[in-house]
Amino acid sequence: MKPSSASRSAADVASDGGKTGPLRGLRVLDISTIVAAPTAPTAAALLGDYGAQVTKIELPGSGDGLRNFAPFKEGRSLWWKATNRDKRLLTLDLRHPRARPIFGALLAETDVLIENFRPGTLDGWGWSRDALWQAQPRLVILRATAFGQDGPYAARPGFARVFEAMGGLAYITGSPEGPPMHAGYPIGDAIGGLFGALGVMAALWKRARAPDLPGEDIDLSLTEGVLKLLDFLTLKQELLGESHERSGNLSQYAAPGGVYRSRDGQWVSLSGSTDAIFAANCKAIGREDLAANARYATNRHRCESAAVLNAVFGDWFALHDLDEIVRLFERAGGTLAPVYSARQIAEDPQMRARGFLQAVEDPDHGRVHLPGVVPRFALDPCAIRRTAGGLGVDNADVYGGLGLAPAELESLARQRVI
């Protein structure tokens, strides 16, 4: 791995494909597929956001299944373009005998390998953990599966809805009288991607402290990732004998708290668990008397009277338009936000002032905008440069760099090795 230094030369940065950020010089090989959900490619993309050079391998001919996920523009998946941003895109059939020396050469230049096949799949192709570490002794391997590398469910496939359902998230989402609900986005994948990237960073820190140690083999269960995020869910069941239940948009932790409709048909979300914020929210609606009432002195007391407080605030919101609501809460220092659509996000002055939606190059649609890098690094800033391109678009450059001649590449392509 190349040293991370603010004094690196322009030639060094160019060798990383122009990448910047604290992880520049880190080499990531992403061989995951859509079969176990987009979690693994998301983890790779996050590492790439921070400066790592990410190379993604797809199956020749068909490519990754995420290319067929909506929404589409002119037949091309926008989800694919976003999730695989800034990656070098190769095709290689790891099952083919002629792929073995090529994959081995790629591994020799790799710090992190990310895969999401069912347990044992890579072993069956001749790439056991020992074989991987023989090719690159310090390799960090991230394995993302629905339920982990062992246990009775290890061989089951999974998508975000599986993780969300069996990880407890769907059960606590929705209205009390309705069925469990999933969010309008596969949040289970996003959760897994974050845990995957964090796990890789933890392993790299160990490797940085002890360079003579081997790499690491990380077992990421995506269902466990969802449950981990919910934190106290099982503790509540164990110690109180209660399953956490659905409460719709009404908060179970603070009162008043929920989503309310304004007079002009807009939606606002109200929160605030501290006494000071409750007082500010009451001031915003002209009900300072509520904050002075001993019945609502603490958040615990307010939660016991949640129905009353939510009704008071809900009735007030129904009599006022959104602009006035936001203005009064800002003046009082309350904690309220309009519920934004994607269009409103793009038009928001805070988003524009921060430039968070970054203009990047797209090979099919020109300049488009993607969410920027989170968080921001003051001394080593990161940037996203482009969306994902076509199948095998970087084959010639990368494989040529490994010493494969054009004639050999043509032969490999004819045999569907690449």
Residues designated as active site: 189
* Paired tokens of 191: 């959760």
Angstrom distance (rounded) from CA 313 to CA 319: 10
Buried b (16+ CB within 10 A) or exposed e, 387-396: bbbebbebbe
* DSSP H helices in 109-251: 121-124, 129-135, 160-166, 187-209, 222-230, 233-240
Angstrom distance (rounded) from CA 391 to CA 40: 18
Q: What is the DSSP string of 126-158?
A: T--HHHHHHH-TT-EEEEEESS-SSSTTTT---
Angstrom distance (rounded) from CA 392 to CA 394: 5
Hey, CA dihedral for 390, 394, 399, 400, is it positive or negative? positive
For residue 282, count CB atoms less than 10 angstroms from its CB and return exposed for 0-12, middle for 13-18, buried for 19 or more: buried
Angstrom distance (rounded) from CA 215 to CA 217: 7
Contacts of 408 (CB under 8 A, 6+ apart): none
